Amino acid sequence: MTDAAHSSTELVHYAVSDAVATLTLDSPANRNALSRRLVTELFAHLERAAADDDVRVVLVESSGKVFCSGADLSEATTEGMEEGARRIVDLQRLIVTLDKPVVTKNVGAVRAGGIGIIAAADIAISAEGATFALTEVKLGLAAAIISLTVHQRMNPRAAALTTLGGEVFSGADAAAYGLVTKAVPADLLDDEVAAVCASLATGAAQGLRESKRILNRDLVARIDALGAEMATTSARLFASDEAREAMTAFLSRK
């Protein structure tokens, strides 16, 4: 397969410029849901960036307005979430422990499991008008595996409101809640992210690595202590009759 053919079929694209590796989620058919294939490709590109001496910073963004719609419910209803839940825990841990700062950029929607990627990142920049929602509660599920990172970032009152309510909140709200680093008008998003990445890229490799390890020490410990339990909880809930009925009804409405 040629590079051009491969790039047209992959779900996550990889490009490097000015010491920044940009990983672009590009699975519009399922709104960048965390399918097994997308997670595998994202994993591989994160590891590729980690091993690239020309890379100082990793940026995760999407090709369309939807950053990530969360778990792939089609896969979850047919194959279960035992393996998928563990992989999403591992994905969050990889982002948190990567020796290089990870930045996320979202102009539009982020839902459920996708919020775990935002929370795992070191710096998250959102458009003010972007929308977020922890929709699990509406489907008989719980934000279990992403609670590992989300609850470390959000203040407790905001976490309770958004997790129990499952309602949509804005990028501006996400910044106020502590979920994202900063929210800016959509027309300024590209310039803001470029400026943040350029600033980070001036850091020395050792300085970035050691500073990130200090910053994320407690978060890594939290993931290691609770990750297996949360993956088991998530898989159990996805397999329940209540959740399967709700997910099937949701998919039939799409």
pLDDT at residue 61 is higher than 70: yes
d(CA 169, CA 16): 33
Other CB atoms within 10 A of residue 241 CB? 8
Domains in the chain with CATH codes: 3-206 (3.90.226.10)
For residue 123, the tally of other CB atoms under 10 A from its CB is 19
Tokens of 199: 């600033």
Please state the pTM of the whole predicted model: 0.94
Average pLDDT, the chain: 94
- The answer to whether the CB of 219 falls within 8 A of the CB of 97 is no
Residue 123 has, within 13 A of its CA and on its CB side, a CA count of 18
Stated length of the chain: 254
Amino acid 5: pLDDT:
41
Report the C-alpha gap between 108 and 229 in whole angstroms.
31
In the structure, what pLDDT confidence band is assigned to residue 228 with cuts at 50, 70 and 90? very high
Tell me the β-bridge partners of 20.
Answer: 17, 57
Residue 110's CB is within 10 A of a number of other CB atoms, namely 30
- Beta-strand (E) ranges in the chain? 12-17, 20-25, 57-62, 102-106, 110-111, 123-127, 131-133, 169-170, 182-184
> Does the pLDDT of residue 107 top 50, yes or no?
yes
User: Phi/psi class of residue 17: alpha, beta or left (left: φ > 0; alpha: ψ in -120 to 50)?
Assistant: beta
Distance CA 85, CA 113 (A): 10
Residue 77 has pLDDT above 50, yes or no: yes
User: Mind listing the pLDDT tens digit for each residue in 110-146?
Assistant: 999 999 999 999 999 999 999 999 999 999 999 999 9
Specify the pLDDT at position 78: 78
Pairing label, strands 123-127, 102-106: parallel
Q: Give residue-wise pLDDT tens across range 2-52.
A: 344 445 699 999 999 999 999 999 999 999 999 999 999 999 999 999 999
Determine the Cα–Cα distance for residues 213 and 75; give it in Å rounded to an integer.
34
> Does residue 227 register a pLDDT over 90?
yes
Q: What is the pLDDT of residues 229-239, one digit of tens each?
A: 999 999 999 99
